Copies of this chain bind each other. A is one copy, B any other.
Amino acid sequence: MTYCLGIVLPAGLVLASDSRSNAGVDQVTHVCKQSLIAEPGRKAIAILSAGNLATTQAVVTELRQAAGSGREGKDLFAAATFFEVAQTVGAMLREVMERDAKHVEPYGDATASFIVGGQLAGEAPRLFQIYSAGNFVEADERSFFLQIGETKYGKPILDRALTPRCSLDEAAKLAMLSFDATLRSNLSVGPPIDLLRYRPDSFAFDDRIVYGDDHPYWTELKRQYGEGLTALIARLPAPGPGG
C-alpha cells in the first residue's frame, strides 16, 4: 500500500509520499514515489504514484523519456497548461495499461493512480488527481488537498486543522502529522517520508526533505504531539453517567 498527499494553497504546494512497496509479505522494499520533472524558470512538474509499481515506473519513465521530444500527446514539456500535463499523464497511464494489464491481471492488480502538482509559467500552481481510468480531477479552493492510496487514517487531522490560510510550513507540519497517523495505524505504509514544498513562481524543486524514522525533526514532532495530545485528552471532561 501507499499514502500520497498533495496540498494546494495560495502559499504554494506541499507534496508528500511514503516509501513502502510490497508484493506479498516477504517482498517489502523501499521506493521513492515522487518523480520531479523541471525546466528551470518555466516548468515544475511533480508526479506522486500509487498502485502497481511496474505500472507506475513504466508511466513515469516513459514520460521522462518523452519530455522535450515533441511526441504528440506524450511530451510533458509541450503542455501549454497544467490541465494538459494531467491529460498527458492520464494518456500515458492508459497506454501502459492497454499494453500490460491483460498480462498482469492473472497475477494481481495492474492499476495505478497519481497526484500531479506543480506550475507552468503563466499559471498559478495547480494540483490534479489521475484516476486508474486515466481521467482526472483538479483540486480547488474548497477541496484543496488530494490523497491516493491508504487515505483514511490521515484524513481527520487534515479535515480538522488544514485551511486555505495555512502557511506552507503549517501545511507541511500537518502533512507530517497526517503521515504519522497513517503509519501508526497501518503497517503497509512506511518510512521514509518524502516531503516537498513548492513556492509559487520558483519553478524549482529545491525544498525537499527525506524523513527517516530516526530523523531528529520527525522524532521530536512525534514526541511533542504525542505528549501534547495525551495532556489535552486528560484535560477533557468525561461523559456523565447515563441511565
Q: If the complex has contacts A152-B152, A159-B185, A184-B159, are A232 and B239 also in contact, measured as CB distance less than 8 A?
A: no
Neighbour of A153 across the interface among B156, B197, B208, B221, CB < 8 A: B156
A155 touches B185 (CB 8 A): yes
- Chain A interface size band reads 35 or more
A118 → chain B closest CB, angstroms:
16
A174 → chain B closest CB, angstroms:
7
A217 touches B235 (CB 8 A): no
B228 touches A176 (CB 8 A): no
Check: A108 CB closer than 8 A to any chain B CB: no
13 A-B pairs with C-beta separation under 8 A:
A153-B156, A155-B185, A156-B184, A159-B184, A160-B226, A160-B229, A169-B238, A195-B239, A196-B242, A197-B239, A207-B242, A209-B243, A221-B237
Please measure, in the bound complex, the distance between the C-alpha atom of A211 and the C-alpha atom of B46, giving whole angstroms: 45
A26 → chain B closest CB, angstroms:
23
B224 touches A239 (CB 8 A): no
Q: If the complex has contacts A152-B152, A161-B230, A233-B177, are A172 and B239 also in contact, measured as CB distance less than 8 A?
A: yes
Check: A101 CB closer than 8 A to any chain B CB: no
A206 touches B173 (CB 8 A): no
Please measure, in the bound complex, the distance between the C-alpha atom of A161 and the C-alpha atom of B237, giving whole angstroms: 15
Within A105-121, the residues touching B (CB, 8 Å) are: none
Check: A241 CB closer than 8 A to any chain B CB: yes
A102 → chain B closest CB, angstroms:
29
Question: Within 8 Å CB of A232, what residues of B?
Answer: 225, 228-229, 232
Neighbour of A242 across the interface among B176, B208, B228, CB < 8 A: B208
Neighbour of A156 across the interface among B156, B235, B236, CB < 8 A: B156
Name the CB-closest residue of B to A233.
Answer: B161
Neighbour of A239 across the interface among B153, B157, B173, B206, CB < 8 A: B173
Question: Within 8 Å CB of A153, what residues of B?
Answer: 152-153, 155-156
Question: Within 8 Å CB of A233, what residues of B?
Answer: 161, 170, 173-174, 177, 225
